[in-house]
Structure formats: structure tokens, C-alpha cells
Structure 1
């Protein structure tokens, strides 16, 4: 039961008696307020240090029996009773109930302090964070440089959530995702806006290669990707990759390679290459050709740059990089960046557009074949 006392001399006498068992606070009633108005009562809880819980739920062991009940307080610290708050019912005494039964929590010691130590607190319902005053935080909160969101009951958000009219994705530990997240359980990519960090698109796995080709990289991050646990999933290739790959053009690997190339340019202050569908058609042709003839000369004896005419691209300033045998996009880029001629093409500021082709032939000498074409638009 709660210890409800009036702010009178009688209350002072009771408090003096409680000091022997070091109770952490007391219930206080304000007779000048309505006893219950739209679920808000005239009761609040005063801790021994003068602070009080407000704007959320609080476990309180008001009678020091080692068992705490959960109470909901409004933003001014007034307790709710005989109503439903945040989807949870509270009885006439303000305690949270499920199917008529008061929900309880064992706390350490007969006189457990109801003021939470600053920091994270975990229970069977989730995680909460208390500030230096012992109050559970709500809303947006930056902790150790990372952003989190806490609901009105103080519990941390995770997964895809609607907040303040926008959708955001939070990792399993509650941190706001600031780059695109791949969710294996949902089978989708949550594409994150670079500046505001809200979810700008939700893309099914099977649509991801096409989305990457067409995405506006100025606004969305599609090359640096993590999973729900914040593990890097960009560039990962498993040992049995070949068994899952089909022979022929692989646009998924090609786009990953294209993104890595642009990362190399951006790191050096060079504008990223603009992806162009027509050049993609050209590199797909060339990637298949170098399986037959690994050369900048085409199988018919003509220059590699004649492929631009073939697909209707006006070649103004052109370049080509080729590679074979590298099993991952990262390995292909690393190979080119360690070759002065190929690196010069990648970092050439005259080139403004391009694409990369990847052709996989398990029966060929090299297996993987990579072609990058550059052009000035």
C-alpha cells in the first residue's frame, strides 16, 4: 500500500518515524486539486532529496516491503489513477494492473531507494535511461554522442518506428541508424537519408540491385550498409558464393564495385561519378568480351571505346579499366588502386560519369571479370 500523507505537521511526525527504516520518499496529496480529473489525481511522490518522478512510469516501493509497483506520472508529476495510460491500465491506487492483478517487481532491501542511479536500466520490458536527477528520460536523447528515442513510458525505441511524423530505424541497442540498414528478418533494406537520418525508402531484397543503380547518391547512403546489430554487410562474400552465383552478368557485384570507386574519389575531394544506364549497357558488353579476350582491344580487333558508339553514348573523354580473377568488388578496386595507370583513371577529375560491369564464368580461367568505363558528359 502507498503511504499517502498530507503536507502538514502530522506528515512530519510520520516522516520522523520512517527515518528509522530509511524509506526513500513519501506520497503527498494536494487537497486544493480535484481528487481525479480525467485520470490525473492530486497525488505526487516526493523523494527524500526533494525530487519527484514526472513524465513517465516509475517503480516505487512506497511501504518498504521489498516489492515495488509501477505508477504513471504526468509531465508535472501528478499520478494517474483509474484510467488507461500508454495502453496500460492503472487502478484506483495508481498501480499498473493486468487483468485486475497489480504488477509488481522485487527490489533489493526493505528500504530500496526509488531514485534510479544515472545510466541504463534493464528489466523484462526493455531498456530505460535515467538522468542525473534519477528521472527516466523521454523523447530524443543524445547519449555518448549517439542519438536514441524513448517513449512516454521511458522505454527505448528499437527497429522501425514512427516518431514526430517521420519514420526512423533504431538498431537493437537503440542507437539511431544514420546509414542504410539491411534487415535479414524483414527481407528489406531501410534506406536512410544522409542529412536528417529518417527512413526515405524501404526496398525489398529482390529490388535492391535496380534501386542502387537508380538511387540519388546525393541524398541517400547505399554503399555503406549495416545489419540490425550494426555489423558491416557491404562487401561481404561467403566461401560458398560461387555455388549461389549464376553464370553471366552480375549487377549486384558491379554496383557494389561502383560505389567503392566513388568512395575513393570522395575521400580525395573528387566529385563522384554519375551512374549512367547507357554506359552500364556498354560495360556489360565489354565484361563478357574480356572473358574471350582479356585486352583493351575487342574480339573483332577494334578499340574498346567503339562500344560507346554501339550503345549511343557520345564519348568525349574516355577511359577503361579491366581486371580478372578478383572474387570481390573490394579486391577489384584494391587491384586497380595499386596500379598507377588504373588509379589515374579512377581519380581523373575530367571523368564525370561511368559504370562497372561484372561477368562471372565458372568455366573460364579467371571466373570473375571486371570492366569500368569512364566518360566526360
Structure 2
């Protein structure tokens, strides 16, 4: 029987200011949600639905909608896959380190960042409901500083501990 687990969030602000941070050479590609008609795989439909539901939570409270960031989506999917394939559930990856280290490793520029993860929920509605009922996850979703997000979803496999793995990354662009 597969377990269901929801993690607390980790929110970290970088200690160094932009002027003292090492210059990152790769710009984060940004894709605007308005008018977006992406060609997506069926499994990615869950990711897009989480993005939409999160933005509904934000805009219903007068908070600006997040921008769908394709790089963050790829990294979130990579993190979910990493948790499934390496049989762990946590913010610190044995392969990529902390969420902030992962962003840096892949050249994402950010001023503030956070990560929500979940394992077990089977629908986008369920994972967003679980996150919104958790103080830390809800704070990330409703944080006005964040401008961009990406969602990664993967189904479990016969050897994984959980039936689903979800990651949502948030950044504030510099």
C-alpha cells in the first residue's frame, strides 16, 4: 500500500544582495499565462491545472497571478522524478541539494524562492487543497513577492513509496 505524505515548506532568502552575488549567466525563460495555449503531454495537464488553481487562489485575494516559467516547470518535474526514482521525500535532494542550490546549479536568477512538495494526492485539486490547508505551503502560494512558478508532477512506479510526487517552485525575479 502506498503512503501519502505532505511536507512542510522551506523558504529561504539568499543572504547576499544581488550586487554581491555571483553573476549568473543564464536568464530564466518566462512564458506568460495569458493567452497561453501550450502543447502539453497528458501528464503535464495536471501541472497546468495546479498552476491555474494556484493563480485562482491568489487572484481571488487580490494577489497578482504568477507567471508560468518553463525552466521552473522543468526543474520541478526533475525534482519530483528525483524523489520517485531515488526513493526519498524531502526538500534536500541527494543529487541536487536544496531547492536554492538546484536553482543556482541550473542558472536560474532569483531574489527569493520557495518550494512546496507533496506525495500521494492523486489530483491537482487535492494537492492544492492540501497545500492551502497547510500554513507553510499556503504562505508560499499567497506570497506577494513571488512572480514565477513551475509545477512538476510524476506518477509513482511499482517500486516507489508513494503513488504520486508533486513539486512547485516559486521565485521572485531579481
Same fold (TM over 0.5): yes
1:319-365 deviations in whole A, cap 9, x for unaligned? 00000100000000000000000000000000010110001123222
1:298 match: secondary structure:
coil
Structure 1: unaligned runs, 5 residues or longer: 1-212, 223-245
1:282 match: secondary structure:
helix
1:305 match: secondary structure:
helix
Q: Is the 8 A contact 2:100 2:113 kept in 1?
A: yes
1:207-253 deviations in whole A, cap 9, x for unaligned? xxxxxx95642x57x8xxxxxxxxxxxxxxxxxxxxxxx9xx93111
TM-score of the two chains, using structure 2 as the length reference: 0.72
2:112 paired with 1:317: yes
Matches within 5 A, 1:85-100: none
1:250 match: secondary structure:
helix
Structure 2: unaligned runs, 5 residues or longer: 1-29
Q: Which residue of 1 aligns with 2:133?
A: 338
Q: Is the 8 A contact 1:319 1:373 kept in 2?
A: yes
Query: Relative contact order (C-alpha < 8 Å, sep 6+): which is higher?
Result: 2
Task: Name the CA shift for 1:255/1:301 in 2 (closer, same or farther; >3 Å).
Answer: closer
Whole-angstrom distance in 2 between the partners of 1:300 and 1:310: 11
Matches within 5 A, 1:131-170: none
Provide the alpha-carbon RMSD of the alignment.
Answer: 2.3
Q: Which residue of 2 aligns with 1:370?
A: 166
Whole-angstrom distance in 2 between the partners of 1:299 and 1:330: 29
TM-score of the two chains, using structure 1 as the length reference: 0.35
Q: Which residue of 2 aligns with 1:306?
A: 101
Q: Which residue of 2 aligns with 1:259?
A: 52
